[in-house]
Amino acid sequence: MDPSHETFQLGPFTAPRLWTGLWQLSSNAWGTASVSKVRQAMGRHVQRGYTAFGENMVRFSFTYRRQVRSSRMKNSIIGVLHRVCGPCFIRHAKGCTHHLPPSRPLRQRRNNICTGKASPWMSDSSSIVVSRVNFAPRWNAPETVIGATKYCVFKPIVVSRETVEAAVHQRMERMRTKRVDLLQFHWQDYELKSDYMQAVDILNQLKSEGLIAALGLCNFDTLRTDEICTQFPGAIVSNQVQFSLIDTRPLSLNGLADVCTKHGVKLLTYGTLCGGFLSDKWIDEPEPDPYSGSLNPSQRKYLDMIIKAWGTWALFQDLLRVLRDIGGRHGGLSVSNVATRWVLDHQVVGAVIIGKSHPFYNEHHLQPTYQWQVRGWAARSIRTTMPKSSVFL
């Protein structure tokens, strides 16, 4: 890895602090591209040291299942259940690529997902699985590949060793590996405390037995994160949550950042660029119409957050100009560089996940995010704008 790239310790792994988000590949709502071009783009990222790939969790309001005949594809494509609810798949992988026929356009990916033998209560949130067998050997140091996945429980289940272990083995089988490097656990219903605590206990046992290398959480709130980390000290290495200049909830007093710092847990953050709104493109632009069809699903979500929970479009424009000024005084950095750096500067943050479809996401734009910090007048300039808003805490 390029020595100028920043890294952090994620359990037994050393991981980069900028990861590629792949949620946009889950639907043609963000555009389409051939699989061969996606492979090439990922290869370029990997060659330059951006070796962590993340995919978000997609949930639909109905259960959609389609069996894929090819066993090759069956091991590479996982079904998704329910509706969008946050990030769900992180990969640190050299040579990460799709395992679909190159001629098949990505816009048909939704019509070619399968659940394999997934139980009706469980959604494996990945839609494209990284296989060490197929991809890692193509790179000089395959031992550096980190494959991470999610174990998400959305409906009440009978928690047992058999059930949880079967879910872990299912992920191992699909990723064609003898262990899960990073398993991130999500539990939907906090009323069932004894159940999710029991599930974590079993996962921790499987970790001690070598089936899991590192255990993380996904979208767990402050109270439950503290409960889990207190009962199982040292077991959890990460919690994947939304965090940006617009959504600063992790920084609330006695909030998630404090709890994670206390327990040595790193945040893996998504939504840091608010679907691309935190970019130069939106400076001096009028407030978009969320129903015009010009916005993708992420942008509609974050626009609603900006104008209804955070402040107003006019105030958001003030923030964009402040970020542009900061970037200009640091050698012409972009608004996205500054917004990302602001999040990375929080010690509790391990990595920021940047959506692959964002124009900011190419190697040349990413690099300036490293090796500087938002300090002094830059930090003060941001603070002068933030208190004017109804900060989303």
Residue type, 126: S
How confident is the model over 236-249, as a mean pLDDT? 96
d(CA 327, CA 102): 39
Q: Which tens digit of pLDDT belongs to each residue from 78-136?
A: 222 222 223 333 333 333 322 323 333 323 333 333 223 333 223 333 333 344 444 44
d(CA 250, CA 244): 9
**Higher per-residue pLDDT: 227 or 2:** 227
pLDDT of residue 75: 30
Ranges of H-type helices in the chain: 35-47, 71-74, 161-175, 193-208, 222-231, 256-263, 297-304, 313-329, 335-344, 363-366, 376-385
Pick from 73-77, 175-179, 216-220, 250-254 the range whose average pLDDT is largest. Answer: 216-220
d(CA 372, CA 379): 12
* Cα angle: 20, vertex 200, 255; to 5 degrees: 65
d(CA 256, CA 139): 37
How confident is the model over 177-202, as a mean pLDDT? 94
pLDDT of residue 176: 82
How confident is the model over 204-214, as a mean pLDDT? 97
Q: Which tens digit of pLDDT belongs to each residue from 347-357?
A: 999 999 887 55
User: Which residues, 6+ apart, have CB-to-CB distance to 241 below 8 Å?
Assistant: 86, 218, 219, 220, 249, 250, 256, 267, 268, 269, 270
The answer to whether residue 341 scores a pLDDT higher than 60 is yes
Low-confidence winner among 160-164, 316-320, 384-388 (lowest mean pLDDT): 384-388
Query: pLDDT band at 307, cuts 50/70/90?
Result: very high
Query: pLDDT band at 342, cuts 50/70/90?
Result: very high
- The average confidence (pLDDT) of the chain is 74
How confident is the model over 292-300, as a mean pLDDT? 87
pLDDT of residue 316: 96
How confident is the model over 280-290, as a mean pLDDT? 96
Decide: helix, strand or coil at residue 10: strand
Percent of the chain with pLDDT over 90: 50
Q: Which tens digit of pLDDT belongs to each residue from 38-47?
A: 556 555 555 5
Shortest CA distance to 41 belongs to which of 80, 96, 103?
Answer: 96
The answer to whether residue 393 scores a pLDDT higher than 50 is no
pLDDT of residue 116: 31
The answer to whether residue 72 scores a pLDDT higher than 50 is no
The answer to whether residue 367 scores a pLDDT higher than 90 is no
The helix or strand, by DSSP H or E, that contains position 89, with its residue range, turns out to be: strand 86-92
Decide: helix, strand or coil at residue 286: coil
- For residue 297, the tally of other CB atoms under 10 A from its CB is 16
